[in-house]
Amino acid sequence: MESGSVTTPFGRRPMTFGMLASQTAARNIEPGQSIDKWKLYRALCEARPLLGVTDRALAILSALLSFYPKGEISEDNGLVVFPSNAQLSLRAHGMAEQTIRRHLASLIEAGLLIRKDSPNGKRYARKEQGGELREAFGFSLAPLLARAEEIERLAAEVVAERLHLQRLRERLTLCRRDVAKLIEMALEEGAAGDWSAIHLHFRNAVERLPRSASAEQVAATLDELELLREEIVNQLEMQVKTRNQGGNAQHTERHIQNSNSQYTSELEPSFETKQGARSDDRSAGRAEPIAQIHKDERKNEHVSRAHAASAANGGLKSFPLGLVLQACPEIAAYGPQGSVDTWRDLMGAAVVVRSMLGVSPSAYEEACEIMGPENAATVMACVLERAGHINSAGGYLRDLTRRAEKGEFAIGPMLMALARANSPIRGKTG
């Protein structure tokens, strides 16, 4: 400090060990030491969480620094500023004087300011005859100059921690996206495995993460999801290899059969008639099987048409009941006893919902015929979830049925979109 002695506060304000420690530290300013006041203020803003001061207190400190006449804080330029509370209020955007006093006290308690009170507690300065400042009473900025290196080091630590947390969040977001899309792909492609349990594990891991998570919490969740992603990838890669090997074997078998196709007529036994048989009997014998074949084709024509799309594109994939109920929770209220525990319960609830939404029996029967009863009930549950956005549930179901018959519709994306929409952690970290 300028005077080199201890100063005590005016009036009823008590002297504390913290004030004494701040004044002692302020005496350790190196000769000629100086620092840009706004550069130091930016470091203070960064280090605020570690210094234990509020943003409002820093706003008051900014107002105090604006009264410092020079751009750099140094002993040669003086270290005391002495604005009145009214002047501080004007530069602190009209902050109330009582609030200003409270935040000034917090800055002093944090060891960033020293109160240098006059005999009557007023803030003023005495000048020499030549206009030079002889002594000033107000707030000393000496602790800022003495702790400049410490403040910059704390600011660097806060910045590094923030960048570390940001990188962890980026990695967590990418990992969450990978796991979600891999599970969605596995369900859509009908990959072997308990994907409903895997999806539940994934959601539980994400839901445990608080909205304002620390770096340690984000790192722990990231480790868990990265392990889950590795397990999913390994499981899917094994199935891909198995499918490729099966596909190569089938390709080889087809190649062998095709290479021998030119000898088919030689290997097939030719039709021979018994000696003495009449030619018209032979003709009748050939015509009767042909007529029977045509009769069977006409009899099964309706079934063949219904399964034509399924035969062409492999049919719609079914999904675990648990995933359907997670994506479409409203359907449970329409099941027996107000709950859905089995596929039979879900199909019964779908019939109730069909009637409630005005879907005709023929439209729902056609959906069951083309998609299958379980998938039709799943689609009905999805329609119920989006009922507020659909003008005609019956027309919407018929359109989905036609698209499914052509192989242009898949339940998976619609189901996973609803599962994400109904997740309690929608919009969280990632």
Who's near 219: CB < 8 A, 6+ residues apart?
A: 168
Residue 173's pLDDT is 94
Residue 25: which pLDDT band, with cuts at 50, 70 and 90? low
Neighbours of 97 (CB within 10 A): 13
Residue 85 above 60 pLDDT? yes
The pLDDT assigned to 240 comes to 83
- Confidence at residue 77, expressed as pLDDT on a 0 to 100 scale: 79
Q: What is the pLDDT of residue 23?
A: 60
Judged against a pLDDT cut of 50, whether residue 303 lies above it is answered with: no
Average pLDDT of the chain? Answer: 78
Residue 27 reports pLDDT greater than 80: no
Burial class (CB in 10 A: 0-12, 13-18, 19+), 281: exposed
> What is the average per-residue pLDDT within 191-201?
87
For 239, half-sphere exposure in the C-beta direction (CA atoms, 13 angstrom radius) is 13
pTM of this prediction?
Answer: 0.52
Q: What is the pLDDT of residues 101-134, one digit of tens each?
A: 899 989 988 889 988 877 777 877 777 666 666 6
User: CA–CA separation, 143 vs 57, rounded Å?
Assistant: 16
Stretch 59-64: mean pLDDT, rounded? Answer: 92
Under the banding of pLDDT at 50, 70 and 90, the label for residue 317 is: confident
Q: How confident is the model at residue 170 (pLDDT cuts 50, 70, 90)?
A: very high
Give the H/E segment covering residue 66.
Answer: helix 55-66
Name the residue with tokens 């902050």.
95
